[in-house]
Homo-oligomer: A and B are copies of this chain.
Amino acid sequence: MLPQPIPVELAEIIAQRLRIIGDPTRIRLLDALRSGERSVNHLTEQLGTSQQNASKHLGMLLQAGIVSRRKQGTTSWYAIADDSVLALCEQICGALQAQLEELSAIVGPTR
């Protein structure tokens, strides 16, 4: 599926994508959106951060096409538009768990 020598441009696109998701606040925003559509106010309170910060990160996720925005009155409702990002986090956690199991096997092999 991937071309054998990945061109520099594609490497930069992939890297940019990974860096967009690679932020604790944005990961927590996406996590909060797993339950469904949420307003900025709700997300701000759930994360315990400032409204400006939440809006800023949601704007970045929106521009990247990872979330979608729906305006109703004065409130904006955000939702996950790209389900693959959650699978990405799952995969990361899976790799981490595999590494931890290897380490524990080395530390305590006979036990």
| Residues in chain A within 8 A of chain B (CB atoms) | 1-2, 4-6, 8, 10-19, 21-24, 26-28, 31, 34, 65, 82, 84-96, 98-99
Contact = CB atoms under 8 A, between A and B. Distances in A.
14 contacts: A2-B90, A2-B93, A4-B34, A6-B28, A8-B24, A10-B93, A14-B22, A14-B92, A15-B26, A17-B96, A84-B94, A84-B95, A85-B95, A88-B92
Contacts of A12: 24
Q: Which of A11, A65, A82, A98 has the most CB of B within 10 A?
A: A11
Scoring A2, A87, A98 by chain B CB atoms within 10 A of each residue's CB, the highest score goes to A2
A36 to B, nearest CB: 13
A1 B19 CA distance: 23
A15 B2 contact: no
Contacts of A31: 2, 5-6, 11
Contacts of A82: 95, 98-99
Nearest to A81: B99
